[in-house]
Amino acid sequence: MVITENDAWIVRKRYFDRTPVIVKPSTPQTPQIDRGKFLCPQDLTFGQLCFIVRKRIKIESNEALFLFLKGGTIPPTNTAISELDVDRNRDSKGFLPITYSLENTFGCDHFL
């Protein structure tokens, strides 16, 4: 499905109490998410969104998940999505783009 310029604005008008968010992997090697578009309630925190994305990707417990806003910034986990939904963070289509990356938190996967 192709996202047009007006899609986010139509969604924002219809669901004025929600924030349209697009979540995508930072690299092609990063595991893909099964659903990348979300309509987040105003009171959803960045940490709660991180938990939702973690469950959607189905990653192992020994992998850390990092979510980034446009420009590579990582906001505090207690920040509401509505606070992040400002013009400087939105893409040209009106969505709040978030990329994610994984990192192994316990070193290598095997012992020599």
The overall longest dimension of the chain from CA atoms, in Å, is 57
34 falls within a domain: no
97 falls within a domain: yes
According to the model, what pLDDT value does residue 3 have? 58
Question: Predicted confidence band at 85 (pLDDT cuts at 50, 70, 90)?
Answer: confident
- CB-CB contact of 101 with 31 (8 Å): no
50 falls within a domain: yes
For the segment 25-36, the average pLDDT, to the nearest whole number, is 89
Instruction: Give dist(CA 54, CA 63) in Å, integer.
Output: 10
Closest to 41 in 3D by CA, of 89, 81, 12? 81
* pTM higher than the cut 0.85: no
95 falls within a domain: yes
38 falls within a domain: no
CATH number at residue 50: 3.10.20.90
Domain residue limits at 21? 7-29+44-103
pLDDT digits (tens, 9 = 90+) for 37-69: 899 998 999 999 999 999 999 888 778 899 999
For the segment 80-91, the average pLDDT, to the nearest whole number, is 84
pLDDT at 110 over 80: no
Domains: count for the chain: 1
